[in-house]
Structure 1
Amino acid sequence: MKLFMTISVLFLATALWGACPSRILSVGIFSFKVGTQVYVADTTHARGYANQTTGMGYITAANSQDMVVDISKKELKSVGTYVLKARDSKVVFTLNSRSYSLRREQDYLRVTITSVRTAGSFSLLNGRFEGQLTDKLGNVVKITEGYFETKNL
């Protein structure tokens, strides 16, 4: 009887484990500096990817303390250097509750895609970035040493 119960429990546990959906969380790395302040995204909220159908590229990141980043540009999908400007890109860095974007002609974000890996209908992007952004009051931030790596979506 004890053997029967042990086998039954193992069978039930195996069946229940198999019924649970396996889910791989999005994992990535995203960091940059503004002056001496280093900003680092939570690994589950850091990704760079392009939709292979539309050609639209996205780099997004956030942490639970002081940072949300939203970058998008058409054709940001292959190895190379892209200079993002207000006329053709969306770039918003919200740092400590203040949003900086491409408001002035001299504002830019230079993104260098160093490698691309295919994952289904997406291209996973890795690279570097730097730039200059402005908030609505005219305060300017210089972003340096930007780095992103996407392990999976």
Structure 2
Amino acid sequence: MLLALFDRVVEEARSNCGDALQRLAEDEEQGWRDAISPFCSTFSSHRAITSAAAATQYTSAAVRDLWSQVMEQFVVEVTEAIESERRRGAAPDGIPARDLATVLNSMVERSLISTFSGQTPAVPEEHLLDTLVSVFLGAIYGRAQG
């Protein structure tokens, strides 16, 4: 049951994300904001499911496998976006794009879980999206906003 619910939450967030990563050339900050925001809002709306899935991944191989598949999809998408931004000259070369994407996605995952499950330390919900976007811009482009 938890697997099906968590899968629905992830699909809801993904569908709300749309083609944000394909629009980075139009406005980098807005593109990343549009890519990250659906996960913040969807996981916020489904806190109990997200928290349960996060906790259960350590004791259930099925949940862990689904969680790993979801994270791998995100890492692949962000890797492709970083490589695209580097090819167009918007982002400097640096550490391997997949390594950067892995760390950024792990940061998002942990930040969402901490904030929405009431753990501490955690970024206050009203600052979460801006903080994540700023870190993405700093890590990928060498600059931060706000």
Under TM normalisation by the shorter chain, which class is it?
A: under 0.3
TM (normalized to structure 1)? 0.26
Rg bigger for which structure?
1
TM (normalized to structure 2)? 0.27
Q: Which structure has the highest strand share of the two?
A: 1
